Chains A and B, each alone.
Chain A
Amino acid sequence: MNYIIDIFLIALSAAVINNFVLYYFVGICPFIGVSRRVDMAFGMGCAVTFVISIAAFLSWTITTMVLIPGAPLSSFIAGFFVSKEAAATIDLTVLSYIVYIFSISSSVQFVEMYVRKFFPALYKSFGVFLPLITTNCAILFACLTIMSNVAGVENPADAWDLGRSLTLALFGGLGFTIAIVIMSGIREDLDLCDVPEPFKGAAITLVVGGILALAFMGFTGVDSGLRKAITPGGEVAMEISVEQVQTAMIEPNLHQQIRGIND
């Protein structure tokens, strides 16, 4: 039961509360660049969701099997070359960024080839976006969030499993799609408006994005409130995983810090 609630809250948090675009600012380039027409924006959103899920699966597997201290595969290999004690403590997390970016770019390549061969219609609709996705921050951001929840936790029992990681990726991609489709709808109408000359293009898009972010801020705190409502007695035990989700955030920490300096 706790697991289902956890999954539900991760999904809600990734999709609307801490929206990838409007809260974490990842994937801003397509948000500004591609969001001119609703159908193109939707295609981009679908392509990102697709790739982000594959990348999340890969990064979770690699992190758990190879990168974290005492991971099965790396300590098995190290067992051949060095002593068993040294193999148990092997820690490859320093390699994580290189491994992630490599797995993202290779999976994008493979997805592109596979889609082109077997789904030509699909390739036509979002194939043009696929190469761009390699350098989309949202994908790497999802991998890093998964890593910080697998390798960065103090208690090994709190580490995310594959289901949680995939939920984050899938609904993070959904949140990206929601944001970019809303934005493109607004921009289609914005074309008919009389915007001051210096603000045409990116500037007015950013201001509109700010207003959208303001609207999405209305969801803040929904997750902790829901958690309390669903589990009346279980807040204390569950509080850890809320914090886990929050360690991946930057804004609250930074905000607190600025506040702390002020006080």
Chain B
Amino acid sequence: MADQPTATERFLQGILPENPVYRQLLGLCPTLAVTNGMKPAITMACSVAFVLVCANVVISLLRNLLKPHLRIVIFTLTIATFVTIADRVLAAYLYQMSKTLGPYIPLIIVNCLIICRCEVCASKQGPFVAASDALGQSLGFGLALASIAAVRELLGTGGLFGYQLLPAAWPDWVIMVLPPGAFITLGLLLGLVNWYSARKSGGSI
């Protein structure tokens, strides 16, 4: 496996060069749905990280037993098991948050990000590389979620984590915490990231 990336490369790639949200456009459903506040966004990022790390390690241990035509089913069943665990834990210790996140925790099962990482990395490389890949990807996912949530919550309510930051005269842009704000914020941030990386690589924009 000389041509496969090493653990460190996998970890670093997840953060910006292959950022799941801004570069690969994966897992957009939770990205848009739970980013109207920092708290739900970070809870979601932690749940995704837990599921991704566990699923990647398990798939990586099973990788020699996988049959090509059945692998997607195995992936989804493994992911579903860990999502059930995450969902029960959230319901037990963070009941209010689990009510707020509602159906979006079980929807992690069909999050393309996790299936994609199982397919690209875990079904080809060992558990250590798979774990570091999962950590890098979930860190990148968490950063993306936090950046969107910060913009939306700051403009929408004038604060972060529920603490008022902007002066009281700030008119709350309620639209930012409603569904349209999610689309527009992600669209603009995506354009910003594209512009920045094109400028950095010497593009003529």
Contacts and interface: CB of A to CB of B under 8 A. Distances in A.
Interface string A187-210: 000000000111100111111111
B171 interface: no
B147 to A, nearest CB: 15
B84 A98 contact: yes
Interface in A44-73: none
A102 B77 contact: yes
Contact of B77 (A32, A101, A196, A207): A101
Secondary structure type dominating chain B contacts: helix
Contact of A213 (B104, B156, B179): B179
B180 A199 contact: no
Interface string B171-198: 0101101111111101110111011001
B181 A250 contact: no
A120 to B, nearest CB: 22
A25 B29 CA distance: 5
A141 interface: yes
Contacts, number: 172
B49 interface: no
Interface residues of B, number: 61
B80 A101 contact: yes
Contacts of A144: 103, 106-107
Contacts of B177: 254-255, 258
B149 to A, nearest CB: 11
Interface stretch (B33-41, B58-66, B122-130, B131-139): B33-41
Contacts of B84: 94-95, 97-98
B36 to A, nearest CB: 6
B169 interface: no
B106 A217 contact: no
B13 to A, nearest CB: 20
Given A148-B103, A217-B178, A258 B157 contact: yes
Interface in A71-98: 94-95, 97-98
A250 B99 CA distance: 8
A105 B180 contact: no
B183 A213 contact: yes
Interface in A15-52: 22-29, 32
Contacts of B101: 250
A101 B76 contact: yes
B1 interface: no
Contact of A258 (B104, B153, B175, B198): B153
A177 interface: no
Contacts of B76: 101-102, 105, 134-135
B179 A198 contact: no
A257 interface: yes
B194 A199 contact: yes
A251 B178 contact: yes
A132 B104 CA distance: 20
Interface string A138-171: 0111001100100000000000000000000000
Nearest to B184: A210
Contacts of A28: 28-29, 32
Contact of B72 (A134, A208, A251): A134
Given A206-B187, A253-B102, 20 more contacts: A25-B182, A26-B29, A32-B28, A98-B80, A98-B81, A102-B76, A134-B72, A141-B107, A144-B106, A145-B103, A198-B195, A198-B198, A199-B187, A203-B187, A203-B191, A205-B187, A207-B188, A210-B180, A217-B178, A248-B103
The 8 closest A-B pairs by CB, nearest first: A210-B183, A206-B187, A210-B184, A207-B187, A198-B194, A198-B195, A261-B162, A203-B190
12 contacts: A25-B28, A97-B109, A137-B110, A203-B191, A206-B190, A211-B184, A217-B179, A250-B101, A250-B104, A253-B102, A258-B157, A261-B157
Interface of A: 22-29, 32, 94-95, 97-98, 101-102, 105, 134-137, 139-141, 144-145, 148, 196-199, 202-214, 217, 248-251, 253-255, 257-259, 261-262
